[in-house]
Amino acid sequence: MEKKPFERPLIKRLNAGMPSKFGMHTHIEALTEIDGLKVEDLVAEHGSPLYVLSERILRKTYRDAYNVFSTRYPRVQFAWSYKTNYLDAVCNVFHQEGAWAEVVSGFEYEKAVRNGVPGSRIIFNGPDKQEEDLKLAIQNGSLIHIDHFDELYLLLELAEKGTGKPKVAIRINMDTGIYPQWDRFGFNYENGEAWEALNRILLSEKMELVGLHTHIGTYILTADAYRIAASKLAILATGIERKYGKVIRYIDIGGGFASKNTLKGAYIPGTDAAPSFEEYADAVSSALIKSDIKPENLPLLVLETGRALVDDAGFLLGTVLANKRLADGRRATIADIGVNLLFTSFWYQHEVLPAQEVSQHTEDTTLYGPLCMNIDVIRDAIDFPLLKKGDHIVIKRIGAYNMTQWLQFITYRPRVVMIDESGKVHVIREREDLEHLIRLERIPAHLKSDDARKK
Amino acid sequence: MIRLKKNIAVSDTGFVFDPSTGESFTVNETGMKIIGYLKEGKSSEEITSLITQEYNIDPLSFEKYSQDFMDMLKQYDMLEYEKEV
């Protein structure tokens, strides 16, 4: 007779009529497959932990977002935010879909060029642009978004030295009714600093002002903030046209759209709280269309959406290493995914799902990583099914920032694979190994192992 | 020998009631089996043998999970120690 599957025994106190902090009980569905491929097979072949990206979801999310904006506004251009995920395979999916590149450092600029993005389709943002980076960007005709006066004057100097005529926009910070107001980037709208920068650029005639840019914040849960931002940029654009007869070619509304992840401390899950692309698009496009910009001069609308385009396409697969009890009897589960691989766990309550069928029984569990550090907590309180050592878990919506802000710590960073639209798995970043990690190290002669042993 | 306190009531559907505290508990299938065997006065060796015959688990792995389960019963103050005569 075939034996029954074993589930570890569980006893749980009932609090009749009292919803727990997780709300009323909901059944946790296992996520056994990603794009038709079994999680178990992916881990068996590529190891655990494992980052998985779905090309299907990447493309679908991009097309959904593009369609939503382009059906509301006549001229729309996305620029892929490299810092969100600059793995070449991911960037190239978005470039194939038609996205430009939006970079914030010399390194990212080099990556975009290497990925074959024409210079004129690279937006160069950020407060740290080195002189050499700027020279290259000027020569390539890239769109330089000036962050501060030091950069503005450096560009003037380079232009005077004959490097070329920089194509520039200025980044503008402003009050859009949200907190915190990101006033550390760019020039302020309300106190007139933005106009000072614009006057300096336009009066110099050494630079070509092509756009206006803002990036109001991150994970913005109110679409109305974008309406305010777009309106203020439109007021500047009409002012520039009136004063200088100069038509602004594009308005870049930046990024900051929320993904469906749930922020820590939020009572409403991100799937319910985050505005849809439609809401953001309505806010931005209606503000521009209703503005005083002449219809024939409507600027290109540039979007630097990162998180909302890539988060859903990323999955992090892991394995349960151990179960234990904390001093008060609470369950603790240790998985092989540390906070170094899931940087976003510092601000998201990531959805963690079992990768195999489970019963309806759950326990209040703390999910730890393997790092031997007290801060290594993936979820500090999660109603979780009864997993055993060796069982697999899937963490959803991890495509944004985790593959750029990850840290190599005490072990190797794992493989990253992409499942293409036909279901074929491609390794897009190899697992690190010792050779890779020590390649940049140099040992002084007196510390080489033979000499060190003699001493 | 460890055994379940006599006044602990167990239903067939997985509910456990402790009349001394008024608290109710829910147990899963394997938990209910173990509690049932404890009520019948079975030893830990006998329980291991019965569970491993019925379920797909080896004795060593089961010992790990049953120890954890017994710890929880202890935490909820449901066990008592019968003095050897």
Position A140 scores a pLDDT of 97
Does residue A395 belong to any structural domain of this protein? yes
Cβ of A361 within 8 Å of Cβ of B28? The answer is yes
Please determine, for residue A28, whether its predicted confidence score (pLDDT) is greater than 90: no
- According to DSSP, the residues that pair with B80 across neighbouring strands are B3
pLDDT above 70 for A20: no
Least CB–CB distance from B56: residue in A5, A16, A361: A5
Query: Can you say how many angstroms the Cα of residue A235 is from the centroid of all Cα atoms in its chain?
Result: 30
Residue B40 Cα, gap to closest chain A Cα (Å): 18
A251 part of contact set with chain B, CB < 8 Å: no
Q: Is residue A445 part of a domain?
A: no
Which residues contact residue A136 at a Cβ distance below 8 angstroms, ignoring those fewer than 6 apart? A109
- Provide DSSP, A315-374: EEEEEEEEEEE-TTS-EEEEES--TTT-GGGGTB---EEESS---S-EEEEEEE-SSSST
Q: What pLDDT was estimated at residue A236? A: 97
Chain B residues in contact with A4 (beta carbon < 8 A)? 54-56
Q: Which residues pair with residue A161 across a beta bridge? A: none
Q: Are residues A164 and A300 in the same domain?
A: yes
Q: How many Cβ pairs within 8 Å bridge chains A and B?
A: 74
Cβ-contact A332, A323 below 8 angstroms:
yes
What's the CA gap between B19 and A184, in Å, rounded? 62
Given pLDDT bands bounded at 50, 70 and 90, which one contains residue A113?
very high
- For A415, half-sphere exposure in the C-beta direction (CA atoms, 13 angstrom radius) is 18
Min Cα–Cα distance to chain B from A388, Å: 9
Is B17 part of the contact surface with chain A (CB cutoff 8 Å)?
A: no
ipTM of the complex: 0.93
Q: How far apart are CA A161 and CA A215, in angstroms?
A: 31
State residue A361's pLDDT score.
84
- Looking at the structure, do residues A61 and A210 belong to the same domain, yes or no? yes
Q: How confident is the model at residue A26 (pLDDT cuts 50, 70, 90)?
A: low
A8, part of any domain: no
Q: Could you tell me if A366 and A245 lie in one domain?
A: no
Decide which of B6 and A153 is more confident. A153
Same domain, A265 and A341: no
pLDDT tens for each residue of A149-163: 999 999 999 999 988
A298 with A349, same domain?
Answer: no
Whether residue A404 lies inside any domain: the answer is: yes
The amino acid present at A356, given as its one-letter code, is Q
Give the separation between CA A72 and CA A289, rounded to whole angstroms: 9
Query: Which candidate from A3, A14, A329 shows the least CB-CB separation from B25?
Result: A14
pTM of the entire structure? 0.89
Q: Is the Cβ pair B68, A6 closer than 8 Å? A: no
Residue A125 CB neighbour total at 10 angstroms: 28
Task: Determine the residue type at A157.
Answer: E
Residues A319 and A304 in one domain: no
Domain CATH number, residue A60: 3.20.20.10
Query: In angstroms, how far is CA A216 from the centroid of its own chain?
Result: 15
Cα A118 from chain centroid? 23
Residues A169, A284 share a domain: yes
A298 in the same domain as A193: yes
* Orientation of helix A55-70 relative to helix A277-289, angle to 10°: 30
Which domain range does residue A403 map to?
33-52+313-434
**Partner residue opposite B28 with nearest CB, options A4, A10, A16:** A10
Q: Are residues A377 and A429 in the same domain?
A: yes
Whether A347 is in a domain gets the answer yes
Q: What pLDDT sits at residue A219?
A: 85
Of A14 and A174, the structure prediction assigns the larger pLDDT to A174
The answer to whether residue A122 sits within a structural domain is yes
Q: What is the pLDDT of residue A183?
A: 85
A180 and A40, same domain (yes or no):
no
Task: Give residue A259's pLDDT band: very low, low, confident or very high (50, 70, 90).
Answer: confident
Interatomic CA distance for residues A244 and A119, integer angstroms: 27
Count up the domains in chain A and report the number. 2
Q: What is the pLDDT of residues A209-256, one digit of tens each?
A: 999 999 998 888 899 999 999 999 999 999 999 999 999 999 999 999
Chain A: residue whose CA lies nearest to B18: A13
Residue from A2, A3, A8 to probe the interface with B (highest B Cβ count within 10 Å): A8
CB contact under 8 A, A13 and B25: yes
pLDDT in tens, A332-387: 999 999 999 999 999 999 999 999 988 888 888 999 999 988 899 999 989 888 89
Q: Is residue A2 part of a domain?
A: no
Alpha helices in A207-342 (DSSP H): 224-244, 270-273, 277-289, 307-310
Q: What is the pLDDT of residues A278-326, one digit of tens each?
A: 999 999 999 999 999 999 999 999 999 999 999 999 999 999 999 988 8
Q: What is the DSSP string of A261-279?
A: PPBTT-SS-HHHHSPPHHH
Q: What is the average per-residue pLDDT within B58-82?
A: 89
Identify all chain B residues contacting A14, using CB atoms and an 8 Å cutoff.
Answer: 15, 23-26
Does residue A28 lie in a domain region? Answer: no
Tell whether A181 and A289 lie within a shared domain.
yes
Same domain, A331 and A343: yes
- Domain-terminating residue out of A274, A296, A311: A311
Query: Tell me, what's the pLDDT at A24?
Result: 54
Q: Which two tokens stand for residue A78?
A: 């996305």
Q: Averaged over A40-47, what is the pLDDT? A: 98
Query: Which residue in chain A has the smallest CA separation from B31?
Result: A9
B84–chain A Cβ distance below 8 A for any pair: no
Q: What is the CATH number of the domain that holds A395?
A: 2.40.37.10
Are A292 and A238 a contacting pair, CB within 8 Å?
A: yes
